[in-house]
Structure 1
Amino acid sequence: MSAQATTTAQMRRRQGWKGTPGANGSWVVTVSLAVLIFSATNLLWPIFDTNTWSAKAIVLVTIMLGAAALVRTFTGSQLWALIASIVGGAIVLVGFTGRGSPRATVEGWGVLAEQLVEQLRSDAAPLRETDAMTTLVLIGVAIIVVLCDFFVFGIRGRSLAMLPLLAFPLIPMALGIDAFDGWAYVFAALALAVFLYAVSSWHQRVHDEELSYQGFLVDSRGLAGLGGALGVTAVSLVAVLVASTVVPAPTGIDAIRQTSTAGLSTNRANPIIDLGEDLRRNNAVEVLRYATTTDQGSLPYLTLQTLSDLNGSDDWTPGAFDGNVAIDGSELPLPTGVSAGAQSSEFTTRIVLNDGVSSFLPRPGFAASIVDLQGEFLLEEQTGDVRSANDEALAQNYEIQTVVPTPSFETISQLEVDVPPELEPLTQVPDEPSADRIRDVLAGIVDENAPAGTQALQLQAFFAKGFAYSETAPVQQGYDGTSLDVIAAFLDARAGYCVHYASAMAVMARMLGIPSRIGVGFTPGSAGELNAEGQPVYTVTSDQLHAWAELYLPGHGWVMFETTPAGALGNLVAPGPGETTAPTIDPFETTTPTPTPVETQSTAAPTVPPETPTPTPTDGTQTAGDQEGEEAGIDLTAVFVTLAVIAGALAVIALLLIPAFLRAARRRARRTAVLTGRPPQHPSAGTAAWQEISESAVDYGVRLATGLTPEAVVAAIAGAFETRRDPADAPASATDPAVAEVDDARSALDRIRVEHEHAAFSDPGAGEQLSAGERSALWNDVLVVRAALRAAAAPAVRRRAVLAPASLSGRR
């Protein structure tokens, strides 16, 4: 085989099965696009608490782009490549979310959808990386992959392909995330430079090969396009760096940020992580309201969750929640370590919890019984924590009877701690250099010969002098958190807020051999109006978020030790009977019988707790138990589900319309090629017109075998026009409109063939000698032929030609 024949064969292979330049795509461009998408997904990291989803996204992108490139290589069809990409993505998503059988998988998707709706209503950045949220992210990545592949290979766009990728930096901005990872943007910028150069080189190569095949002489371009790619990247980097220093931090879109009770740390897997940010927020967010039978003495804290694990240099974290007791309204077991007859207070509280606060129930002490809950809840007997079985942070209106250990100072001072085997891990402190610094401070605080209870009281008293409450000092001085390193720095600086006091007390107690942990929840809140039973209704906001130390004392169980300065805790004392800090009105409408109060040590004349219907004092609103019949408010779940269904339907419609859009884009490119006389991807106006009528004929069902001569192609297309004549009728006259249209189409077809042959076999550059009027007439001939093909086709063929054009699949 001659060198010229070999070159021609290579060109035809590169041009694809249809002879269309670049139809087989480019693996180099595909790989560069994959790297660009990988790097762009890194920009989503700040909105999640963990990022294990990233590995799944890499698998998804690789399989989707790889499947599309493989099919494109062997078929030269962008439509089949698009289908392969979607199918590959669907298989990966099913693999990640499948549950054995098709039925179980579909049911699992329903569960994930419900969990997603609930999380979107209640969670706030950094979002929990749940299965539902991971699935949503992967679906979003899959849609972006399809769009990018379509823009790059379907309509040959360079910068257009970057539009879907803008979602990755814009989503954190919409959520108000101000974290800026410069290296993530640098990596994305470098990937963008490689992608732009790869696409530019591929476009130039395809164009040059087509010109060469038509007889033009084309010189090597070398590294042409590299300068432009690097220039765009440099400008992008500079713009990002300038914006990061000049533009104010993003505040987010209010409609998105305010869909939950505002991103409290109580909604996290570890609620202590962002507690400082919640305390420093400018506008307090209401969390719950409650009324209690305690109307004298100290008010209890409202515990959400306990933190018991401390490993290495990490912060305190919750232990595993094993939820071994179901909440069904019956009596619950006594807390661990509590003996019958131990000093304690018992009371009843009615709590109205706002939507989205936490999947853990606020409890004033240890729960003895809970009624009126909506949904399934479990009790962790070891810690006393109560959590939704489905990890849902729903609004609740429930009544809880609780027990709070209240040993006197005299009793505590005489206690020796006998540690049960199961609590031995809660006396361990990691062997870190900072632990020795803490022990040095501890040695000067306690009497080593005193009982363990006395040492605990001495430790508590240590924090009462010489320490200052500050929510900003730890941030400014770089020791915010609860790790051992932070505690050592806090003991030196002697300024911090509740998490520092609580973690320091708990770590030092462990060093004394006393089991300890941290409680996270709320201080009692502010008393407001009286309800119908004459009880103060307490309002708790994000300002009351709090953390405290809890120490295990034999016979009493877990006892709270408060070390945070009293000035930062707000009101901790219940007003006397009949006292109120606001006008005495009924803020809530009681709609169900009130429960019988429990005799307590802290109240001489117990009253009934309110059956409060909603967290806010409005008239005529339904209770949480009546939400199914709610008419006055908006059902946010229904809104989210409806929006999700609409979005899904629009996405399906958009995917179904992609072939039509792709075919229309190709037609517009050829129209530009004919009318301008300077075709960007076509060697001549005649060739572009010929390609358009050939593919239009295939779309309308005309079979054009490979290798047909131009005359044979014209005959096949003209034969389709003749289907408009009915053989059973008398011969049509020349004045018949249908006959005139067919004749015009045949004439237009001949003129396009002549111009195509002229461009293909004349001297190079001859096609560019057409005048503007001739180019306009040539494209008008294309329109006449297309109109005749459409008129001759059946209705079903017409629809198929628009929605599923055969020319995109490589059929002839």
Structure 2
Amino acid sequence: METTTTTDRQTLPEPDPRQRRFLPQSNHAAEGQRHLMVSLAALVAVVLVSLSIHGVLDGWGWLLNVMFTAAAVLTATAGTRSLRWPPVLSLGAGLLTLAGVLVWQFFRDQSFLGVIPGSQATERLASLLENAETTVASELAPVAPGEGVLLITCAATGLAALLIDTLAITCRMPATSGIPLLAVLSIPAIILPDSVGVPAFTAAAAGYIFLLATGQWRESFESQDQAAHRTAGYLTRAATIGAGALSLALVLPAMVPGFTTGTFPQGSRLQWWTAASGLDPSVTLGNSLREPDGSGRITYATTANEPLYLRLTTLEDFSGRRWHPDQRMDSRRTGIRQMGMSAGLPVGSGNLTTTRIDTRSFTSPWLLAPYAPLSITGLNGAWTWDPGTLTVLSTAGETTARQTYQVISSLPELTPELLAGLGPAEDGEVDAGFSFLPEGLPPVIRQTAVNLTADLTNPYSKAMAIQNYLRGGGFTYSLQAPVEGNYDGTGLEVIGRFLEVKAGYCVHFAGAMAVMARLAGIPSRVAVGYAPGEPTGNTVMVAGKDLPEFAVDSKDAHAWPELYFRGAGWVRFEPTPSRGVVPVYAQQPATPPGLPVEDDLRPDGLSVPDTATSPTPAPGLSGNGTPGTPIPSGVEPGMTVVVLVLLFLAAAPFLIRAARSGGRKRRFLSSNPQLAAGIAWAETTESAVDHGYTPGAAETPRAFTSRLMQQARFNSQAVDSLTRLRHAFEIQMYAAAKVQPVPGTVSPTWADVQEVKRALWGSNTLPARLKARLLPRSLRRRY
């Protein structure tokens, strides 16, 4: 056993001043690596808190854009910091990188080299912002992550990442960096009825705790040696305390009254806009986002002989998982006062009616109007109309809220005999988009359409066959079956599932008829708006006459199909049983008693019809599916991301330690012998620390190696390797540059480091080995 004597200490020369010049560079490199670890923690925190946006944005396709934006910004700041740029320049580099990555993602065709915006970028930006404004104003969460919404999301996330980086690294205030994380988390907390939810809150809190712990770990290196040694366990302690606080936050609401009920229930929203309401034209289903409580009251009075359907917009693109209205900006025109008799109007001019509409709190960029509108007056703001759909859309951010306007429309004069005498639409008579169906159509849709219409040649007969089938006794009007059966959404897969289960509500019936009509050769679309509503008992002066007033609200939200007939234009049908008014030209037997009379595009909140009093069979007795049996859909993409992130966090200590060891080996092999000795000694010491053998604050290398040999019970081969490593390190640290190695000694190699590692591995139990590999203690501080 070797011991350190007084003579040994006295004969050791002072460190070579020429060697000292490497120390500041080494310290700077170590500091840069610690900052890099905090940057990595900031990225993890941003990604984890971004998961909470799921539910505000539909699907998970937006997550990669958000991750790429945050990673680019943090990489830029980390890179400039490693070059020792001033903090202000690092911040500027982050802003420039954020701008560049946004240009590359959203303005590539309007830029130079993909990152420098060109002259057309401003126009593109205005278009994207207008698209985002329309989406936010007209859709309810989860909104479709269109390019405009995605641009704003990426920009906001990138700014949050940059702010977190500045607070946690430049200002050294990792605790304060939770403010931008909280800002991101507040978005779903405000918008979603059930607030953030436990999984998203847990992920966000875990990211914040990881950022705090990493920041504390970095600060432990900035103190004096003894203080740093005392704070070496702060990473573990910070994570433990944070995990305990998180567990308490999750358990406490279930144990203490007042968190889930009372004045301030958990998950209650800060709804500053509760006075406003709207109707989601994308027909998002099954999200419990807008309970049918009668909100969004709209009143109207009309010269028509009966109450009217109020039409908001149409859905004609049946591709994709969600159906959205096409704004058709290329074909829109101004001048809603004189919309005129355009293509798509019913046969002849029809009966002209005048309708006065008071929107009150109803908010949407799409304008409610009875079909087919010819002239609209009294409306504030800039509005456009589309000749193909006769929908009216704002152009400068206006909405329908608190507007009172007058619509002159044409009521068609249609009869079964008239429609039965009309042939199929000719090629080019109507936009091909109204007949298009994407590939991958579920077989049940095609087979059902063939069974219903194969023997029929007349478009009207085909339309009636489809409507009568859907309104027949084989189908049940149900608000809960789509939720329980896991098909509460839009898209062709949903329609296929609906035809199997034979239970749903208005959007399912309308979508099924529209899709099957296209298969039968009839152009079609789905209209979204409101059913006629109920009289209020008041009268309103319209066109010089006192007319009865009607009111609609969220419970009257409805969807219905419109089919195109040559010479007659777009004709409304009503396939939903118990809902709305069946036109005279499409009459079918009366709906059996006992079915509900209300519907909603967001169906949560209304009860399922009482099947005990209804002759309609219960869902699932006919067809291949059964409500309540979810469709096997694989693992949710969001859960996959969460699992991968958690696995990465669990493996992060091992990966960081392995990367550090690999880097040292490369530097050892490429350095001169004097510098290589220090590199090998650092790896040897940290390997010993990982296995529980920590050098004392005042312990010399010789004393430490002697103790390590004895406690770890090294064999002779490991003793020789450790002795060579220690001797070379002592020469590097204490001998002058002119001093040559002792004759007969052998310079250490990396194989000596490996030999010591093997001896340390063999000296421990299996649990200790796993801990050394997966949770290396040396990451708490460098030795």
Relative to the length of structure 2, the TM-score reads 0.60
Q: Secondary structure at the match of 1:41?
A: helix
Structure 1 residue aligned with 2:280, among 249, 265, 270? 265
Given the alignment of the two structures, is residue 569 of structure 1 paired with residue 580 of structure 2, yes or no? yes
Q: Secondary structure at the match of 1:206?
A: coil
Partner Cα separation in structure 1 for residue 118 and residue 518 of structure 2: 51
Given the alignment of the two structures, is residue 473 of structure 1 paired with residue 485 of structure 2, yes or no? no
Partner Cα separation in structure 2 for residue 442 and residue 112 of structure 1: 39
Q: Secondary structure at the match of 1:527?
A: strand
State the percentage of identical aligned residues. 26
Partner Cα separation in structure 2 for residue 274 and residue 350 of structure 1: 30
Structure 1 residue aligned with 2:187, among 171, 175, 196? 171
Q: Is the 8 A contact 1:549 1:561 kept in 2?
A: yes
Rate the CA distance shift 1:570–1:251 in 2: closer, same or farther, 3 A. Answer: farther
Partner Cα separation in structure 1 for residue 184 and residue 227 of structure 2: 44
Find the counterpart in structure 1 of residue 325 from structure 2: 318
Q: Secondary structure at the match of 2:484?
A: helix
Find the counterpart in structure 2 of residue 253 from structure 1: 269
Given the alignment of the two structures, is residue 227 of structure 1 paired with residue 236 of structure 2, yes or no? yes
Find the counterpart in structure 2 of residue 550 from structure 1: 562
Q: Is the 8 A contact 1:288 1:541 kept in 2?
A: yes
Partner Cα separation in structure 2 for residue 341 and residue 414 of structure 1: 15
- The 5 Å alignment of 1:686-765 reads none
Partner Cα separation in structure 1 for residue 171 and residue 14 of structure 2: 35
Render the CA deviation track for 1:682-724: whole Å, top value 9, x for unaligned.
x9xxxxxxxxxxxxxxxxxxxxxxxxxxxxxxxxxxxxxxxxx
Shift of 1:111: 9.6
Question: RMSD of the TM alignment (CA)?
Answer: 4.5
Find the counterpart in structure 1 of residue 551 from structure 2: 539
Given the alignment of the two structures, is residue 291 of structure 1 paired with residue 301 of structure 2, yes or no? yes
Structure 2 residue aligned with 1:379, among 382, 385, 389? 385
Partner Cα separation in structure 1 for residue 411 and residue 495 of structure 2: 28
Partner Cα separation in structure 1 for residue 162 and residue 517 of structure 2: 57
Render the CA deviation track for 1:159-198: whole Å, top value 9, x for unaligned.
4433432222232112235386877667656655654554
Given the alignment of the two structures, is residue 44 of structure 1 paired with residue 58 of structure 2, yes or no? no
Matched to 2:465, the amino acid is Q
Find the counterpart in structure 2 of residue 488 from structure 1: 496
Find the counterpart in structure 1 of residue 376 from structure 2: 370
Q: Is the 8 A contact 2:355 2:407 kept in 1?
A: yes
Shift of 1:317: 3.7
Rate the CA distance shift 1:545–1:87 in 2: closer, same or farther, 3 A. Answer: same
Q: Is the 8 A contact 1:24 1:72 kept in 2?
A: no
Unaligned runs of 5+ residues in structure 1 are 574-682, 684-812
Find the counterpart in structure 2 of residue 348 from structure 1: 354
Shift of 1:244: 9.8
Q: Secondary structure at the match of 1:310?
A: coil
Matched to 2:299, the amino acid is R
Find the counterpart in structure 1 of residue 164 from structure 2: 148
Matched to 1:517, the amino acid is R
Q: Is the 8 A contact 1:51 1:129 kept in 2?
A: no
Shift of 1:393: 2.2
Q: Is the 8 A contact 2:565 2:571 kept in 1?
A: yes
Q: Secondary structure at the match of 1:505?
A: helix
Q: Is the 8 A contact 1:324 1:378 kept in 2?
A: no
Rate the CA distance shift 1:240–1:407 in 2: closer, same or farther, 3 A. Answer: farther
Given the alignment of the two structures, is residue 414 of structure 1 paired with residue 454 of structure 2, yes or no? no
Rate the CA distance shift 1:451–1:124 in 2: closer, same or farther, 3 A. Answer: closer
Matched to 2:335, the amino acid is D
Partner Cα separation in structure 1 for residue 127 and residue 327 of structure 2: 23
Rate the CA distance shift 1:121–1:225 in 2: closer, same or farther, 3 A. Answer: same
Partner Cα separation in structure 1 for residue 484 and residue 99 of structure 2: 48
Shift of 1:412: 2.3
- Give the length in aligned residue pairs: 552
Shift of 1:335: 4.1
Partner Cα separation in structure 2 for residue 218 and residue 384 of structure 1: 72
Render the CA deviation track for 1:651-689: whole Å, top value 9, x for unaligned.
xxxxxxxxxxxxxxxxxxxxxxxxxxxxxxxx9xxxxxx
Rate the CA distance shift 1:120–1:13 in 2: closer, same or farther, 3 A. Answer: same
Partner Cα separation in structure 1 for residue 513 and residue 32 of structure 2: 69
Q: Secondary structure at the match of 1:490?
A: helix
Render the CA deviation track for 1:497-543: whole Å, top value 9, x for unaligned.
11111112222222322222111111122222002431112222111
Shift of 1:126: 3.2
Shift of 1:15: 6.2
Given the alignment of the two structures, is residue 515 of structure 1 paired with residue 523 of structure 2, yes or no? yes
Shift of 1:51: 7.0
Matched to 2:565, the amino acid is L
Render the CA deviation track for 1:285-317: whole Å, top value 9, x for unaligned.
2243222111x2x433111111112237x3444
Shift of 1:561: 0.7
Partner Cα separation in structure 1 for residue 525 and residue 129 of structure 2: 36
Moved more, 81-90 or 520-529: 81-90
Q: Secondary structure at the match of 1:265?
A: coil
Rate the CA distance shift 1:5–1:232 in 2: closer, same or farther, 3 A. Answer: farther
Find the counterpart in structure 1 of residue 37 from structure 2: 28
Q: Is the 8 A contact 2:42 2:161 kept in 1?
A: no
Rate the CA distance shift 1:105–1:72 in 2: closer, same or farther, 3 A. Answer: same
Rate the CA distance shift 1:552–1:331 in 2: closer, same or farther, 3 A. Answer: same
Partner Cα separation in structure 1 for residue 134 and residue 326 of structure 2: 24
Shift of 1:559: 0.4
Partner Cα separation in structure 1 for residue 423 and residue 486 of structure 2: 38
Shift of 1:386: 1.8
Partner Cα separation in structure 2 for residue 136 and residue 449 of structure 1: 51
Partner Cα separation in structure 1 for residue 122 and residue 575 of structure 2: 51
Render the CA deviation track for 1:603-642: whole Å, top value 9, x for unaligned.
xxxxxxxxxxxxxxxxxxxxxxxxxxxxxxxxxxxxxxxx
Q: Secondary structure at the match of 1:383?
A: coil
Q: Is the 8 A contact 2:189 2:196 kept in 1?
A: no
Moved more, 85-94 or 540-549: 85-94
Q: Secondary structure at the match of 2:575?
A: coil
Structure 2 residue aligned with 1:205, among 199, 214, 221? 221
- The 5 Å alignment of 1:403-442 reads 403-421=410-428, 422-432=430-440, 434=442, 436-442=443-449
Q: Secondary structure at the match of 1:546?
A: strand
Shift of 1:149: 3.0
Rate the CA distance shift 1:198–1:4 in 2: closer, same or farther, 3 A. Answer: farther
Render the CA deviation track for 1:560-597: whole Å, top value 9, x for unaligned.
1111123x338999xxxxxxxxxxxxxxxxxxxxxxxx
Q: Is the 8 A contact 2:299 2:549 kept in 1?
A: yes
Structure 2 residue aligned with 1:161, among 177, 198, 209? 177
- The 5 Å alignment of 1:62-77 reads 62=71, 64-75=73-84
Structure 2 residue aligned with 1:463, among 442, 461, 470? 470
Q: Secondary structure at the match of 1:535?
A: strand
Unaligned runs of 5+ residues in structure 2 are 1-12, 112-116, 585-696, 698-783
Relative to the length of structure 1, the TM-score reads 0.58
Shift of 1:547: 0.4
Partner Cα separation in structure 1 for residue 440 and residue 95 of structure 2: 51
Partner Cα separation in structure 1 for residue 76 and residue 353 of structure 2: 64
Render the CA deviation track for 1:207-242: whole Å, top value 9, x for unaligned.
2xx43xxxx798799x84553355356547646765
Partner Cα separation in structure 2 for residue 87 and residue 429 of structure 1: 43
Shift of 1:404: 3.1
